[in-house]
């Protein structure tokens, strides 16, 4: 399956700053999801945004979706050292039979 693209591949910021990660994809989708992965662990679901939604919030997370540009962004506000992890977007293609397509991921490092 084709992988989505994420940028940046790596991001290092100071604690308290905001972190923004971007995701682009290729096909029409039912929804787009963001996941977090700590080193050597499984993925944890963060947030899901449906194709008819443009923005969604969950705590310090804000996700936007632009289906015309086939892109999404994840904003983490007031970052904390514990936010250090890899973040992946995943799309649910309309004809994907429940198979999620994952982006390349962004490795986020929050410096105390």
Partner 1 sequence: GAVVSQHPSRVICKSGTSVKIECRSLDFQATTMFWYRQFPKQSLMLMATSNEGSKATYEQGVEKDKFLINHASLTLSTLTVTSAHPEDSSFYICSVTGDPTEAFFGQGTRLTVV
| Neighbouring residues of 47: CB distance < 8 A, sequence distance ≥ 6 | 33, 34, 56, 58, 61, 63, 74
Contact 3, 89 (CB under 8 A): no
Asked whether position 90 contacts partner 1 by CB under 8 A, the answer is: yes
**Quick one: which segment of 17-25, 59-67, 74-82, 88-96 binds partner 1 (CB under 8 A)?**
88-96
| Neighbouring residues of 67: CB distance < 8 A, sequence distance ≥ 6 | 28, 29, 51
- In the complex with partner 1, which residue's Cβ is closer, 15 or 96? 96
Smallest gap from Cβ 14 to partner 1, in A, equals 23
Asked whether position 24 contacts partner 1 by CB under 8 A, the answer is: no
Which of residues 2, 12, 28, 45 is near partner 1 by CB under 8 A? 45
């Amino acid at each position: 399956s084709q992988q989505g693209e994420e940028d940046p591949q790596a991001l290092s910021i100071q604690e308290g700053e905001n972190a923004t990660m971007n995701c682009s994809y290729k096909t029409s989708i039912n929804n787009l999801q963001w996941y977090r992965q700590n080193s050597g662990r499984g993925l944890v679901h963060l947030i899901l945004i449906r194709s008819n939604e443009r923005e969604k919030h969950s705590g310090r997370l804000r996700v936007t979706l632009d289906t015309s540009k086939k892109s999404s962004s994840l904003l983490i506000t007031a970052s904390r050292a514990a936010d250090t992890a890899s973040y992946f977007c995943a799309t649910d293609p309309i004809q994907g039979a429940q198979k999620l397509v994952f982006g390349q991921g962004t490795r986020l490092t929050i410096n105390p």
